[in-house]
């Protein structure tokens, strides 16, 4: 008994000595004392635990783990076992084994422990495990570790948990963790509010985001980084509000950002844009003006252009000129900026400044890494071509082809087509951009000026129709003609297939009498152009010319189109209606009332053309309907058309007349100079042979409806073969050399239907 007591005393004395050495930092001496204690009692758990701690302090991590494991093997109270697991976890983490550390911490958590210090240390270790996992990219594992750490309701651990969950995409979990940390209080509340706001913004809850940022602003932080993060969050909130159309809210958020962390050029520019979109032009101008004082460099050109636009919108052209002159002395960031400034200068008649902005566009264009959108490059290429800088225009086309994705069929084909046009190629790899297709001779009327009554029935071959459908992805325009297009079997399906391509504009030439409510909605929604043949605006005149029609039916169809156009959310912005009026002896006096009729029925365009019944056989009773050179008709039109045009303009109707004999040319004609002069020297005469095919009734094919010489027949050859047929190649060759006599109509020789002076990219 005495020996046992003596052994206990010796081990206790050794432990006490070791404790004294450890407290003085003499860990080798502490280790020696503990080894002496263990020589007396190898299963002294307290000595083993102390030995593990001392070895860890001397970086003998393997020895420390062995000592801790021996202490665990000795058994004992659960509280100490939990603490030993925590100490082992710390050693393992120092060895770089975060997962082994986590296993020891899980064992510690499985043992009930009332020791607050042990729980605190375990929480800190879980946090370090989370950091290690996060650095390795294991955000979900990091979040799991932080949940363990946060079990002790430690604000720091909860904040780290929220950040980890946010990175892992668990936004509800992140919000809950940040909110719990906020509930515990502390000095980090500002930063926690900002992080919670960012989570709400990622969830799409702009209002909740704003509330948290406002809470944060009510207790501002002295931490500059915290304020900077809050400012960034306000800015991102502003962007989200702007994208949602709440420009006033975006401006308010940007003002909060500026109040929080001071003014900077980028935020002020955003505020100016938001104010402008919200309609607060004064605030927008003030923001851009403040931005001018925030620095120097490339954004200054953009700011000056914005201020010029605002000045014009507020009716101050002198201020606009001042800003544009200042902008002209500054470099810009993109082609779009300089081209926008160029357009403003041209609008104000500041041609010297416009030329300078264009020159700066050229300088940017010469750089390979120039930032440019498709629209900017397109505008620049068109400008190059118009002023005869063909080499630059051609370079731009190559750049576009290089940048456009391979699956962008429409744009790649159009750019390639324009490149082939500039190269004057006669055999093309590109496909047509425009088709004018006659579907059928079948009609529901017997109009007195229509020559088709002397011809037999016809409809487009099925093979040709299949080729047309295959071209839909590449086309920008297709006109459907008849006969009457709505009588063509399968036209609804054909129309819907074409409507699936949003860049393809469909133009229907129709008498309109078969347009019901369903068709009206379909046409309006697809953004079609509806060219209505209306040759009388009184029942008597209309029903005389259009035999078999009822004027009342026409008015009902026009009403359906008008109502469909008014239906909220239905109308495509491209939708428009056009009225074609064939002038005959029996209706020419109705021309002067066309603008009122068009305005009443929502017809945007009116076009008058001369009838051609003079080619009818003498036996036809309507042969004399052709006005020809009738002096009475010509005199009437010469006298009335100027007033008709003026009246149309006042009613918002575009009036076009093709009566050169009447001395009142169409508004889009330029009779003083032939159109060949519109193209720069060396340019081709007309684009039509490069971009269009017209299939007439009976299958005759030409580049355009006004061309004189057919290139083949769709009933005998495929469209693909006709596109590069000898006839089409001859048209291209002649247009390139401007030898058009005998191929192009007299009307084209006064003004080409497709101006070669513009690429129309």
Shared domain for 545 and 449, answered yes or no, is yes
Question: Is 514 or 634 the better-scoring residue by pLDDT?
Answer: 514
Question: Which of 662, 697, 715 finishes a domain?
Answer: 662
Task: Give per-residue pLDDT as tens, 494-505.
Answer: 999 999 999 999
Both tokens assigned to 186:
């502390």
Assign 41 a pLDDT band (cuts: 50, 70, 90): confident
CA distances in angstroms from 479 to 92, 572, 605, 734, listed in the order given: 78, 18, 17, 26
- CB of 610 closer than 8 Å to CB of 627: yes
Q: Report how far residue 360's alpha carbon sits from residue 346's, in angstroms, rounded to the nearest whole number.
A: 15
Number of domains in the chain: 2
What residue numbers bound the domain in which 509 lies? 439-662
- CB of 692 closer than 8 Å to CB of 435: yes
Shared domain for 727 and 594, answered yes or no, is no
Shared domain for 608 and 709, answered yes or no, is no
Task: Give per-residue pLDDT as tens, 701-736.
Answer: 999 888 889 999 999 999 999 999 999 999 999 988
Assign 549 a pLDDT band (cuts: 50, 70, 90): very high
Task: Give per-residue pLDDT as tens, 389-409.
Answer: 888 888 888 888 887 888 899
> Which has the minimum average pLDDT: 101-110, 411-420, 713-722?
101-110
Question: Is 633 or 377 the better-scoring residue by pLDDT?
Answer: 633
Shared domain for 589 and 503, answered yes or no, is yes
Q: Answer whether residue 167 shows pLDDT above 60.
A: yes
- What does the chain come to in residues? 761
Task: Give per-residue pLDDT as tens, 648-660.
Answer: 999 999 999 876 5
Task: Give per-residue pLDDT as tens, 599-623.
Answer: 999 999 999 988 877 678 888 888 8
Shared domain for 562 and 632, answered yes or no, is yes
SS3 457: coil
- CB of 603 closer than 8 Å to CB of 577: yes
CA neighbours closer than 13 Å in the CB half-sphere of residue 12: 6
pLDDT value for 120: 64
State the pTM of this model. 0.63
pLDDT value for 77: 67
Question: Is 120 or 36 the better-scoring residue by pLDDT?
Answer: 36
Assign 583 a pLDDT band (cuts: 50, 70, 90): very high
pLDDT value for 664: 45
Shared domain for 646 and 716, answered yes or no, is no
Shared domain for 638 and 702, answered yes or no, is no
423 in any annotated domain? no
Q: What is the mean pLDDT of residues 483-504?
A: 96
Edge-to-edge strand ranges of the sheet holding 505-510: 654-657, 605-610, 576-583, 529-533, 505-510, 477-481, 434-438, 692-695, 700-702, 712-713
Q: Report how far residue 393's alpha carbon sits from residue 265's, in angstroms, rounded to the nearest whole number.
A: 35
Task: For 178-215, give the DSSP string.
Answer: HHHHHHT--TTHHHHHHHHHHHHHHTT-HHHHHHHHHH
> Which has the minimum average pLDDT: 133-142, 203-212, 223-232?
133-142
Q: What is the mean pLDDT of residues 311-340?
A: 89
pLDDT value for 728: 96
pLDDT value for 671: 33
477 in any annotated domain? yes
Task: For 666-692, give the DSSP string.
Answer: -TT--TTS-GGGGSPTTS-SBSHHHHE
> Which has the minimum average pLDDT: 13-22, 510-519, 637-646?
13-22
Q: What is the 3-state secondary structure (H, E, C) of 587-620?
A: CHHHHHHHHHHHHHCCCCEEEEEECCHHHCCCCC
414 in any annotated domain? no
Q: Report how far residue 536's alpha carbon sits from residue 549's, in angstroms, rounded to the nearest whole number.
A: 11
Instruction: Respond yes or no on whether the N-terminal peptide bond of residue 483 is cis (omega within 30° of 0).
Output: yes
Question: Is 525 or 170 the better-scoring residue by pLDDT?
Answer: 525
Task: Give per-residue pLDDT as tens, 234-261.
Answer: 899 899 999 999 999 999 988 988 888 7
Assign 427 a pLDDT band (cuts: 50, 70, 90): very high
pLDDT value for 672: 33
Both tokens assigned to 603:
């017809």
CATH classification at residue 565 = 3.20.20.70
Which residue, chain included where needed, has tokens 């939990």? 82
Shared domain for 645 and 741, answered yes or no, is no
Q: Answer whether residue 321 shows pLDDT above 90.
A: yes
Residues contacting residue 397 through CB under 8 Å, at least 6 positions apart? 381, 415, 418, 419, 422
Q: Report how far residue 740's alpha carbon sits from residue 746's, in angstroms, rounded to the nearest whole number.
A: 10
From the list 520, 457, 458, 514, the residue with the least C-alpha distance to 485 is 514
Shared domain for 630 and 699, answered yes or no, is no
Shared domain for 553 and 506, answered yes or no, is yes
Quote the percentage of the chain above a pLDDT of 70. 86
Task: Give per-residue pLDDT as tens, 683-702.
Answer: 667 889 999 999 998 999 99
SS3 578: strand
Shared domain for 521 and 591, answered yes or no, is yes
Shared domain for 574 and 537, answered yes or no, is yes
DSSP state at residue 367: S
Residues contacting residue 138 through CB under 8 Å, at least 6 positions apart? none
- CB of 412 closer than 8 Å to CB of 545: no
Question: Which of 628, 662, 696 finishes a domain?
Answer: 662
Q: Report how far residue 343's alpha carbon sits from residue 325's, in angstroms, rounded to the nearest whole number.
A: 14
Q: Report how far residue 332's alpha carbon sits from residue 370's, in angstroms, rounded to the nearest whole number.
A: 11
Task: Give per-residue pLDDT as tens, 450-471.
Answer: 888 888 899 999 999 999 999 9
Assign 754 a pLDDT band (cuts: 50, 70, 90): very low
Both tokens assigned to 94:
């120092």
Assign 286 a pLDDT band (cuts: 50, 70, 90): very high
Report the 10 Å Cβ neighbour count for 218. 9
Q: Answer whether residue 24 shows pLDDT above 80.
A: yes
> Which has the minimum average pLDDT: 158-167, 314-323, 354-363?
158-167
Q: Answer whether residue 598 shows pLDDT above 60.
A: yes
Average pLDDT, the chain: 84
303 in any annotated domain? no
Question: Which of 662, 678, 699 finishes a domain?
Answer: 662
pLDDT value for 129: 66
Assign 536 a pLDDT band (cuts: 50, 70, 90): very high
Which residue, chain included where needed, has tokens 């000045």? 311
From the list 749, 712, 713, the residue with the least C-alpha distance to 734 is 749
State the Cα torsion 441-442-446-452 to the nearest 10°.
20
Q: What is the mean pLDDT of residues 162-178?
A: 81
pLDDT value for 149: 53
pLDDT value for 605: 95
724 in any annotated domain? yes
307 in any annotated domain? no
354 in any annotated domain? no
pLDDT value for 666: 45
Q: What is the mean pLDDT of residues 37-46?
A: 85
330 in any annotated domain? no
């Amino acid at each position: 008994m005495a020996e046992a007591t003596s052994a206990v005393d010796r081990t206790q004395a050794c432990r006490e000595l070791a404790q004294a050495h450890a407290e003085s930092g003499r860990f080798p001496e502490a280790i020696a004392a503990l080894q002496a204690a263990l020589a007396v009692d190898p299963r002294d758990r307290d000595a083993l635990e102390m030995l593990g701690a001392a070895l860890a302090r001397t970086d003998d991590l393997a020895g420390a783990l062995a000592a801790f494991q021996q202490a665990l093997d000795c058994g004992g109270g659960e509280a100490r076992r939990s603490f030993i697991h925590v100490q082992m976890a710390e050693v393992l983490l120092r060895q770089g084994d975060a997962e082994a550390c986590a296993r020891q911490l899980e064992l510690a958590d499985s043992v009930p422990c009332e020791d607050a210090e042990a729980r605190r240390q375990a929480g800190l270790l879980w946090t370090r495990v989370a950091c290690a996992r996060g650095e390795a990219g294991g955000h979900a594992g990091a979040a799991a570790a932080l949940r363990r750490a946060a079990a002790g309701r430690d604000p720091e651990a909860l904040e780290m948990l929220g950040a980890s969950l946010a990175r892992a995409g668990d936004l509800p979990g992140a919000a809950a963790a940040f909110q719990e940390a906020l509930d515990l209080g502390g000095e980090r509340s500002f930063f926690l509010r900002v992080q919670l706001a960012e989570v709400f913004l990622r969830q799409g809850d702009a209002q909740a985001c704003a509330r948290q940022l406002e809470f944060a602003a009510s207790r501002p932080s002295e931490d500059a980084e915290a304020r900077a993060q809050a400012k960034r969050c306000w800015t991102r909130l502003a962007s989200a509000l702007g994208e949602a159309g709440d420009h006033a809210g975006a401006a308010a958020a940007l003002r909060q950002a500026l109040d929080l962390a001071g003014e900077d050029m980028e935020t002020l520019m955003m505020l100016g844009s938001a104010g402008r979109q919200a309609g607060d032009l004064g605030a927008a101008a003030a923001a851009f003006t403040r931005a001018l004082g925030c620095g120097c460099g490339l954004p200054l050109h953009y700011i000056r252009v914005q201020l010029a636009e605002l000045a014009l919108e507020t009716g101050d052209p002198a201020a606009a000129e001042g800003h544009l002159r200042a902008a002209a002395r500054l470099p810009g960031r993109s082609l779009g900026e300089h081209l926008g400034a160029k357009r403003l200068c041209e609008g104000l008649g500041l041609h010297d400044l416009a030329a300078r902005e264009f020159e700066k566009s050229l300088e940017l264009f010469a750089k390979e890494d120039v930032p440019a959108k498709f629209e900017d490059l397109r505008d620049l290429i068109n400008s190059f071509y118009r002023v005869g800088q063909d080499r630059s225009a051609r370079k731009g086309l190559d750049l576009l082809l290089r940048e456009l994705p391979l699956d962008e069929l429409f744009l790649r084909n159009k750019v390639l087509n324009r490149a082939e046009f500039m190269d004057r190629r006669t055999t093309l790899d590109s496909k047509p951009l425009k088709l004018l297709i006659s579907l059928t001779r079948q009609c529901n009327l017997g109009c007195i000026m229509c020559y088709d009554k002397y011809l037999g029935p016809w409809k487009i071959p099925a093979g040709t129709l299949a080729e047309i459908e295959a071209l839909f992805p590449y086309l920008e325009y297709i006109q459907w003609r008849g006969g009457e297009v709505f009588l063509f079997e399968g036209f609804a399906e054909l129309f819907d297939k074409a409507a699936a391509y949003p860049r393809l504009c469909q133009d229907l030439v129709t008498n309109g009498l078969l347009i019901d409510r369903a068709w009206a909605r379909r046409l309006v929604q697809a953004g079609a152009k509806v060219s209505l043949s209306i040759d009388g605006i009184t029942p008597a005149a209309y029903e005389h010319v259009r035999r078999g029609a009822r004027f009342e039916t026409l008015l009902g169809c026009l009403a359906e189109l008008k109502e469909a156009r008014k239906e909220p959310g239905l109308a495509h912005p491209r939708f428009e209606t056009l009225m074609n009026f064939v002038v005959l002896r029996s209706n020419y006096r109705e021309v002067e009332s066309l603008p009122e009729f068009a305005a009443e029925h929502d017809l945007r365009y009116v076009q008058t053309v001369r009838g051609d019944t003079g080619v009818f056989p003498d036996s036809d009773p309507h042969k004399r309907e052709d006005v020809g050179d009738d002096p009475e008709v010509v005199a009437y039109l010469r006298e009335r058309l100027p007033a008709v045009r003026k009246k149309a303009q006042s009613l918002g109707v575009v009036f076009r007349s093709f009566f050169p004999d009447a001395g009142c040319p169409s508004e889009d004609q330029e009779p003083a100079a032939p159109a060949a002069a519109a193209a720069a020297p060396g340019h081709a005469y007309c684009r039509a042979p490069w971009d269009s095919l017209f299939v007439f009734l009976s299958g005759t094919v030409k580049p355009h409806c006004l061309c004189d010489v057919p290139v083949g027949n769709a009933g005998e050859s495929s469209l693909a073969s006709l596109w590069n047929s000898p006839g089409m190649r001859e048209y291209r060759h002649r247009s390139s050399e401007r030898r058009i006599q005998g191929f192009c109509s007299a009307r084209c020789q006064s003004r080409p239907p497709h101006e070669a002076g513009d690429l129309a990219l």
